[in-house]
A and B are shown apart, each in its own frame.
Chain A
Amino acid sequence: MPGADGTTSASRNGRKDTQGLTVRSFANHVKPTWCPGCGDFGVLTALKQALVQLEIWPHEAAVISGIGCGSKIVDYMRINGFMTLHGRPLAVATGVKLANPSLHVIVVNGDGDGYGIGGNHFMHTARRNPDITHIVENNQIYALTKGQYSPTSDRGFKTSTSPDGAAELPVNPLLLALACGATFVARGFAGEPKHLASLIAAGIRHKGYALIDVLQPCVTFNKVNTYEWYAERIYRVDEETGYDPADFDAAWRMAQQWGDRIPVGIIYQREGIPSYEEFVPALKEGPVVHQPFAKVDEAVFERLKLEYT
């Protein structure tokens, strides 16, 4: 992707070898344990396609996930992967990015992980704006624990922990991200991996925090929000005449649409905002993991000691 921002340090430093890079470069021998028809397959396919589109090799990206069905994605692909704790991948990813900004850091987690237990990190990462792409597999249910309502379940949604229907309003992740200052907010659908791949690629190219909320049917536990349910409702914002994702007010209105019509695509993007790493003095000389191991020499040390005499 010559000329585009957000490309790898390797491509910035010269021509990079992309000979032979295909989705198969990201394949490993592990057979996914996802249910047949799970929306997570679409996310896995889309993520691999996006990386190929951007000419990013497996060793140049780090995928940090949480805990949940979808977070197992790192076990099912050849990539620098780190499956962390429930709710914490954004925080771990921030550490990875700040120590080694030359890695493309991508977070994948679910709606419970990202918007429930990890809600605080979501809010603060959005306003912090590190160059991290955040893919949330939003199936509106806790699937790995076998079907309890999630922060994005619609009101009235019946599960084992909401037998009379969920009483709480669902989180609107797009509005929340916008309110917190996110510079890239998109929504995709696991049933359309090609379009999803383009959103993920746009998110990775975007310099700063990029949220891609993915409508991802759970075929086993969510009998309401099915492929058919979504297929009947979604439409692409880029096919709407005159929709400008750079217009915050328009995005704010668009993000509120839910129900009969559900928009997908890039809802909001603001370019030209410095990412968090640009404010970190220690990164001016490049990633700290690439800098000489010990920066404090004897002269610096003796000067520091003098402060105490």
Chain B
Amino acid sequence: MTDLSITIGGDAGQGVESSGSTFSLASLRSGWNVFSIQDYRSRIRGGHNFYQIRVASREIRSHSDPVHLLLALTKESIDIHLANLAPGAGILHDDSLRPDEEAARAHGAHFFPMPFTEIATRHGNRVMTNTAAVGAGAGLLGLSLDALKSVIAERFSAKGDKVVESNLAVAEEAYNLALKRYQGTFQHSLNGRVPPRSERRSRTPGPMLISGNEAFALGAALGGCRFVSAYPMTPATTIFEWLVKREKQLGIVTKHAEDEIAAICMAIGAGYAGARALVPTSGGGFSLMVEALGMAGMVEVPVVIAEVQRGGPSTGLPTRTEQGDLLFALHASQGEFPRIVLAPGTHEEYFEAGWRAFNLAEKYQCPVIVLADQFLAASLSTIAWEALSFQSVRRDRGQLLTGQELDAFDNGEYRRFKLTPTGISPRALPGHPKAVYTVVTDEHDEEGHITEAIDNRVAQMDKRMRKLEEARKEMRGPKRYGPKDAELTLICWGSLAGPAVESLPLLEAQGVRANVLHFSDIWPFPVQEAEKALQAVKRAVAVEQNYTGQFARLLRMCTGFSVSRIIRKFDGRPFSPQQIATACLEEVAQHARS
């Protein structure tokens, strides 16, 4: 079984990101399964950045430690990543760098100096040094040269034939030279190993390599999103940029607003007018949107908020990952009103949330929050072509009255907030002569007029909150990964599905039979399904990317179930399967002692 990790490290501005994505796609096109993460800082130039690419023969859902091949664009990247190198790892670097050979030997790593700059300047210029590094890395690892060249040709096509040709020449020479010099020395080479798929030379349909945010935006567009307003904020910006780039093709009104308050208010205005409206943001922006969230709840206007979490509090760790906003999302805004919170665990689920959130928002006429995070948003995952399926998409606008239905309406004044058994009042959009109504953020009667009358207040609160019970019926219980009869259950939510599931074989190898219960539908909490799933649990740990174990608290609040231990991480770096497995083994060992 092949399972290798490659790190490309360098300074911000050296093209680490483009090298990483090129290497990732070349790996995919060589027939391998790929999962990549990016690690960067909140600055434009300077400071160490890296890209970690995992290449495997089986399906993978996470990055992995340790690293087998390091493409070092700076000396600093060698120093930083040495501790995470596997025995026999290779370090490709420009021959001008003078690395500490003693330290590397102690780690069992091998240096592979290469004339990157010389090759780059001979065929083009210094800027192409990273192309040389990628070419050498691909050669040494054993990726297909044709696959790499196809990616390079596409990536540089906008810059003209000359740039494409120079980069191709640089990549090819570095590829062949690395092979010639070091093939026999590098013990993790893929040469001679058969990839799970045959290499693809053209862009015929095959598996995709897609980031979470791209998958979500695709899902939102497919779900009929016609309005998106946002204020740029990492790591949510790429959702907005994706939709803006395709606004003509998709017919989406996109508005870069003056602030986050305006962004959500515009979306609520668009939702009121009848467009499926989306607001992508991160925790800081969401903090500003909180008052308007309550407005959407009170006036029963559908709106979807993609809250892509990053490290908090305040500005926190702007480019890094965290799951610190769960309880905030559940409780944001004054008073009580129905809201729905989804926390997709995989790229496929994030895609699905893109369209499903709109259905839920329109069906229950309330705000829907999709809670993602930097790890899910920015990681690239290999997914099957069929996994993002047009046929799977449902578009359900709920009880939205059509023009014809309103034409035929002959029942006195239209009542926007009519009391119904489900709490859902048939919704008319503004613009029809038979449904002229006012909505107000004050408490209101069935027609929408302000009133503080006691009976009405109680009836309208009951009506709104009934929608939550109605929605709860379609909230999904936890998804189980791994064997049913496990001695240890890892309970997690949101983006941790991948790393948690990937930790199971590592635990199995240590003799621990474990499984994962993953929650993606968070609110209204699927109490019954959760209780049912928890009955089979012998011993549980929660795995969360936050300080206080917010989901463990929620689980206890809703079901009374307590976990034995909360495995936490709040350093902004995503959990690797190895880190989760190690923490689980500690728990098992401690339990055995007690």
Q: Is B78 an interface residue (CB 8 A)?
A: no
What's the least CB distance linking B159 to chain A, in Å?
18
Residues of A near B224 (CB, < 8 A) are: 293-296
Residues of B near A84 (CB, < 8 A) are: 265, 268, 295, 441
Residues of B near A88 (CB, < 8 A) are: 261-262, 265, 292
When C-beta atoms are compared, the residue in chain B nearest to A65 turns out to be: B440
When C-beta atoms are compared, the residue in chain B nearest to A57 turns out to be: B433
1/0 per residue, CB under 8 A from B, across A293-304: the answer is 111101011101
What's the least CB distance linking A123 to chain B, in Å?
8
- Which of B210, B227, B449 is the one whose CB lies under 8 Å from A95? B227
Report whether B436 and A59 are in contact in the complex, using a CB–CB cutoff of 8 Å. yes
Report whether A95 and B442 are in contact in the complex, using a CB–CB cutoff of 8 Å. no
- Which of B206, B214, B272, B442 is the one whose CB lies under 8 Å from A96? B272
Report whether B441 and A79 are in contact in the complex, using a CB–CB cutoff of 8 Å. no
What is the interface residue range for chain B against chain A? 35 or more
- List A131-183 residues whose CB lies under 8 Å from chain B: none
- Among A28, A85, A99, A302, the most chain B Cβ lie within 10 Å of the Cβ of A99
Residues of B near A281 (CB, < 8 A) are: 247-248
Q: Is A58 an interface residue (CB 8 A)?
A: yes
Report whether A72 and B249 are in contact in the complex, using a CB–CB cutoff of 8 Å. no
- Which of B397, B431, B435 is the one whose CB lies under 8 Å from A103? B431
Report whether B439 and A82 are in contact in the complex, using a CB–CB cutoff of 8 Å. yes
- Which of B254, B257, B441 is the one whose CB lies under 8 Å from A67? B441
Report whether A95 and B267 are in contact in the complex, using a CB–CB cutoff of 8 Å. yes
Residues of B near A102 (CB, < 8 A) are: 431
User: Once the chains are docked, how many angstroms separate the CA of A305 from the CA of B299?
Assistant: 37
Report whether B253 and A98 are in contact in the complex, using a CB–CB cutoff of 8 Å. yes
When C-beta atoms are compared, the residue in chain A nearest to B215 turns out to be: A308
What's the least CB distance linking B347 to chain A, in Å?
10
What's the least CB distance linking A21 to chain B, in Å?
11
User: Once the chains are docked, how many angstroms separate the CA of A60 from the CA of B430?
Assistant: 8
Do most interface residues of chain B lie in helix, strand or loop, or is the interface mixed? mixed
- List A253-309 residues whose CB lies under 8 Å from chain B: 280-283, 285, 288-289, 291, 293-296, 298, 300-302, 304-306, 308-309
- List B422-459 residues whose CB lies under 8 Å from chain A: 429-433, 435-442, 448-450
- Which of A85, A283, A296, A302 is the one whose CB lies under 8 Å from B295? A85
User: Once the chains are docked, how many angstroms separate the CA of A123 from the CA of B257?
Assistant: 12
22 contacts between A and B (CB under 8 A): A62-B273, A62-B430, A72-B450, A80-B430, A80-B437, A85-B295, A85-B441, A88-B261, A95-B270, A95-B277, A96-B269, A98-B266, A282-B251, A282-B253, A285-B251, A288-B227, A288-B275, A293-B224, A294-B395, A295-B226, A296-B222, A308-B210
Residues of B at the A interface (CB closer than 8 Å) are 28, 200, 203-210, 214, 218, 221-222, 224, 226-227, 229, 246-255, 257-259, 261-262, 265-275, 277, 291-292, 295, 299, 385, 388, 390, 395, 397, 429-433, 435-442, 448-450
Besides the contacts A72-B450, A289-B431, A296-B224, what 13 more A-B pairs have beta carbons closer than 8 Å?
Answer: A59-B430, A59-B435, A67-B441, A91-B266, A94-B262, A95-B227, A95-B266, A99-B270, A281-B247, A282-B250, A293-B397, A298-B390, A305-B205
